[in-house]
């Protein structure tokens, strides 16, 4: 194994452990808003996946770049969908129009109402 590969793997494992530790401390009530906002940052991951795809020279490299770009794009779109649904929960519901006030009888007689008993 080369020294660069061991260094890259060490950084990856440390970043993974720090990420798990940070996310594990977030309360459930804050998880969705924070994650939906953080998913928009994954646009940077999408750009990185595309840049890595430019340096690929083998079929395996192209496949891995495509898979990385696909998952990064899905994460960005999913973040915006979750944010949209979350914001939709806080919108005020449309109020139904108020009923028109009842009019007084024109000739002083009681109006016919189906629930009243006529004598």
pTM of the model: 0.50
Among the listed ranges 16-25, 62-71, 79-88, 97-106, which one has the minimum average pLDDT value?
97-106
Confidence of residue 10 (pLDDT cuts 50, 70, 90): very high
Q: How far, in Å, CA of 37 to CA of 35, rounded?
A: 5
pLDDT in tens, 50-84: 888 888 889 988 998 899 899 988 888 887 887 77
Domains of the chain, by residue range, sit at 30-91
Contact criterion met (CB below 8 Å) for 46 and 76: yes
């Amino acid at each position: 194994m080369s020294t660069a590969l061991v260094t890259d793997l060490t950084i990856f494992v440390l970043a993974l452990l720090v990420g798990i530790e940070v996310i594990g401390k977030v309360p459930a009530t804050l998880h969705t808003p924070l994650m939906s906002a953080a998913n928009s940052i994954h646009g940077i991951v999408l750009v990185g996946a595309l840049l890595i795809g430019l340096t690929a020279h083998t079929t395996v490299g192209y496949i891995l770049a495509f898979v990385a770009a696909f998952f990064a794009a899905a994460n960005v779109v999913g973040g915006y969908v979750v944010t949209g649904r979350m914001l939709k929960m806080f919108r005020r519901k449309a109020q139904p129009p108020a009923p028109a006030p009842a009019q007084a009888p024109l000739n002083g007689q009681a109006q016919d109402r189906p629930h009243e008993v006529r004598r």
